[in-house]
Amino acid sequence: MPFLCWRAEGFLVIDIQPDNQPTKLGQVLNAFTAAALLISGLLLLSAFYVEEELVRAFCLGAFCFSLTVAVLLFAITRISRALDRSRERFHKALEISNDLSAKLSYQESHDSLTGLLNRREFEGRLQDLLKQNSSQPIEHVVCHINIDRFKVINETCGPAAGDELLVELAELLRKRVRHRDTLARIGGDEFGIIMRDCSLEHSEHVAENLLELLGELRFNWRGKRYAVGASIGLVPLTDPASNVSNVLSCADAACHAAKDKGGHRVFMFSHSNTELAKRHGHMRWVSRINRALDEDRFRLSFQPITPIEPTDKPPIHYELLIRMQDEFGNMIAPGAFLPAAELYSLSTKLDRWVLSSAFAWLDSHPRHVDELSLCAINLSGHSLSDDKFLDFVVDLFVSSRVPASKICFEITETAAIANLEHASRFIGTLKALGSRFALDDFGSGLSSFAYLKTLPVDYLKIDGMFIRDIHEDPIHLAMVRSINEVGHLMGMETVAEFVENDAIIEVLREVGVDYAQGYGICPPQPLEIFERAEQQETGAHAALTMVVA
C-alpha cells in the first residue's frame, strides 16, 4: 500500500506492501496510517499559507500530532506484519515437526524394507494381547513363517535379489492376512502373524493355505526362476501365564521342527512333544550364552593328554575346555550349552572367545609357554567354513608371541567331512604356520577312513563310544585296533578319549594307542593351577604331575 513521506524536496510516495497479502487488521492499519499522513501533509501546507500566528501554530501542532500518529500506526502495521509472518512460520514449523514425528513413529514401528510392522511393534501388540487374554480368555494363535530357500537365493543372486524377494513376499502375505490380524517381519527371512480370535483348526487351515501359496511362488530374477517355499510354526495362546519371550521361543521351536522334518510344512507346538521340548530347552540357552559372553562369565579349564607308556618327564600336553559360570557362581559343563550353540550358530562366537582368551593367557605366561609341548583347542564346524574366522586365527598368531607349533586345533570328523573343502584349506593354511591338527571323535562317521588321505592331520582322537567299554566289547576293541593301525601307517599319533579306569588303560597299552585323556587320567582343572606353580616356582611339570597323580 502507498504512503506519503515528507522530504525536503517534497512529498515522496513509497510502497511498503509486504511480500504476503496483509490480514484485515493490517489493511485497516494501512488505511489509518495513510489518512494520518495525508492530514499531516494538509496541515503542513496550511501552516505555510495562513498569516495569523495563532492559526499557524495550531496547524503546526496538529501537523506534529498527525505525523506522530502516522508514525505510530506505521510501526504498529510493521509489527502486525511481523507477527503474521512469525505466525505463518510457526504453523509451518509445527507442520514439519508433526510430519517428522509421524515419520519417526512410523520408522520405530515398521520395517524399512517391506513396510510391514517390525519385531518391536509385533512384540508390543503380542504383549497387549496376552494381557487381555489373562482376563478374557479368547482363542488366538501366533504363526511363525521361515522362508526355506531364502539363504540360497540371497547368496546365489546377491543381497539385492534377497531384498526384492522379501518385498514380494511381504506384499503376498499382506493380501492374505485379515485386517484384524497382525503381520510383521520379525527377522531376516522370518515373518510373524498374530491371528486374533482364531481357533486352532482355522489357524491350521490358514497356515496350510499360506504354505500352498508360498510353495507355488516362483521368484524371477534376471531371467531365472527360483522356487521359494516355507516352514511354518503355530503356537496357541492358551496359557494365561505365558509371556512374549516364551511364546516367540515356542513359535521359533515349532518352525525349526518343521524345517528339521524336511521343510515346507506346518508344525503345531505342543508341550508334550519331547523333540520340541528339547529344542525349546536349547533356545533358552541362546540368551544365557549371549548374556554370559556380555558379562564375561565363561572360563577356561584344561584336561591333560598323557602318554599311555609311562615316561620320566611327560610332556605338558592338554586340551583347553570352556565352562560357563552361571549367575550364582556355579560352573556349567560344556555339554549343557554347546549343542544349543551349534544349533543356533553361536559356536563361532564361542570359538572366538576361547581363542582370544587362550592366546591372551599364554601371552601373559611366557614361562609356561616355554615348558608347554602342545595346547589343543576345539573348533566347531561353523568356524571351519567361515573365511573371516581363518583370518582371525592368522591375525592372532601374528599379533601374539605364542608359537604356532605349540597349538593343536581339534576338529570333529563329522564337521570336517561336512565342510571338506573349507576344512582342507583351513588345515593347510594353519599347518603352513606350524600349527598341528587333531581329528576329534574319529570313527563316528560312516566313511571315516576314506577321508583321512584328504585331511593332513597329526592326531586321531578315537571316539569315546569305542573306548568306554573296550575292555568288555570285542567289536569296539577291533574298531580301536583298526583305527590305531591305520593312523600309525599314515604317520599320525592316536589319542583315546573318555578313558575312565585302569582296565581301559591296560587294553589301550596292549593295542598300542599313544595317548589317553579322560576322567580316569584327570578331570578338567582350572588354569590357576599353572599360575600358582609359576608363583611358587615349581614349574608346570610339577603341577601337572600333582593333578594327574
Name beta bridge partners: 442. 462
Q: Which residue in this structure is represented by grid cell 513396510? A: 115
Query: Domain 119-271 - what CATH class?
Result: alpha beta
User: What gap in Å lies between CA 362 and CA 350, rounded to an integer?
Assistant: 18
Phi/psi of residue 128, nearest 5 degrees: -60, -40
* Secondary-structure percent of the chain, ordered helix, strand, coil, rounded to 5: 55, 20, 25
What pLDDT, in 10s, does the model give residues 149-186? 888 888 888 889 999 999 999 999 999 999 999 999 99
User: What gap in Å lies between CA 116 and CA 183, rounded to an integer?
Assistant: 7
What pLDDT, in 10s, does the model give residues 106-125? 788 899 899 999 999 999 99
User: Residue ranges per domain, the chain?
Assistant: 2-105, 119-271, 284-548
Find out whether 379 and 351 touch, Cβ atoms under 8 Å: yes
Angle made by CA atoms 294, 298, 302, in degrees to the nearest 5: 160
Torsion of CA 434, 438, 439, 443, to 10 degrees: 150
53: burial class by Cβ within 10 Å (0-12, 13-18, 19+)? exposed
Residue type, 23: T
Question: Mind spelling out the 3-state secondary structure of 212-265?
Answer: HHHHHCEEEECCEEEECCEEEEEEECCCCCCCHHHHHHHHHHHHHHHHHCCCCC
C-alpha cell at 139: 482363542
Using only C-alpha atoms, what is the Rg of the chain? Answer: 41
Pick the CATH number of 284-548 from 3.30.420.10, 3.20.20.450, 3.40.640.10, 3.30.565.10: 3.20.20.450
Torsion of CA 89, 93, 98, 101, to 10 degrees: 180
pLDDT of residue 45: 61
Residues with Cβ within 8 Å of residue 494, at least 6 apart in sequence: 459, 460, 461, 462, 483, 484, 487, 488, 513, 514, 515
C-alpha cell at 196: 486374533
Residues with Cβ within 8 Å of residue 229, at least 6 apart in sequence: 147, 148, 149, 214, 215, 263, 264
Q: How far is CA 68 from the centre of its chain?
A: 74
Question: Mind spelling out the 3-state secondary structure of 75-96?
Answer: HHHHHHHHHHHHHHHHHHHHHH
- B/e letters for 314-348, b = 16+ CB within 10 Å, e = fewer, are bbbbbbbbbbbeeeeeeebebeebbebbbebebbb
User: What gap in Å lies between CA 193 and CA 117, rounded to an integer?
Assistant: 10
218: burial class by Cβ within 10 Å (0-12, 13-18, 19+)? exposed
Find out whether 300 and 391 touch, Cβ atoms under 8 Å: no
Find out whether 248 and 123 touch, Cβ atoms under 8 Å: yes
Per-residue DSSP letter, 419: T
Angle made by CA atoms 388, 392, 396, in degrees to the nearest 5: 170
Query: Does this chain's domain 119-271 share its CATH topology with 284-548?
Result: no
pLDDT of residue 8: 40
Sequential pLDDT tens for the chain (549 residues): 444 444 444 444 444 444 444 456 656 656 666 666 666 666 556 655 555 666 556 655 665 666 676 677 677 777 777 777 888 888 888 888 777 777 777 788 899 899 999 999 999 999 988 888 777 778 899 999 999 888 888 888 888 999 999 999 999 999 999 999 999 999 889 999 999 999 888 999 999 999 999 989 999 998 888 888 899 999 998 876 678 888 988 888 888 888 878 888 999 887 666 666 666 667 778 888 999 999 999 999 999 999 999 888 889 999 999 999 988 888 998 988 998 888 788 999 999 999 999 999 999 999 999 999 999 999 998 898 888 999 999 999 999 999 999 999 999 877 887 778 888 899 999 999 999 999 988 876 545 576 777 788 999 999 888 999 999 999 999 999 999 999 999 999 999 999 999 999 999 999 999 999 999 999 999 999 999 888 888 888 888 887 775
539: burial class by Cβ within 10 Å (0-12, 13-18, 19+)? middle
Find out whether 255 and 263 touch, Cβ atoms under 8 Å: no
Residues with Cβ within 8 Å of residue 175, at least 6 apart in sequence: none
Q: Is 275 left (phi over 0), alpha (psi -120 to 50) or beta?
A: alpha
Q: Which residue in this structure is represented by grid cell 602342545? A: 374
Residues with Cβ within 8 Å of residue 535, at least 6 apart in sequence: none
pLDDT of residue 101: 75
pLDDT of residue 82: 79
C-alpha cell at 278: 528339547
Neighbours of 488 (CB within 10 A): 15
pLDDT of residue 209: 92
User: What gap in Å lies between CA 336 and CA 341, rounded to an integer?
Assistant: 10
Angle made by CA atoms 316, 318, 321, in degrees to the nearest 5: 150
- pTM of the complete model: 0.61
Per-residue DSSP letter, 409: E
pLDDT of residue 329: 87
pLDDT of residue 272: 67
pLDDT of residue 260: 79
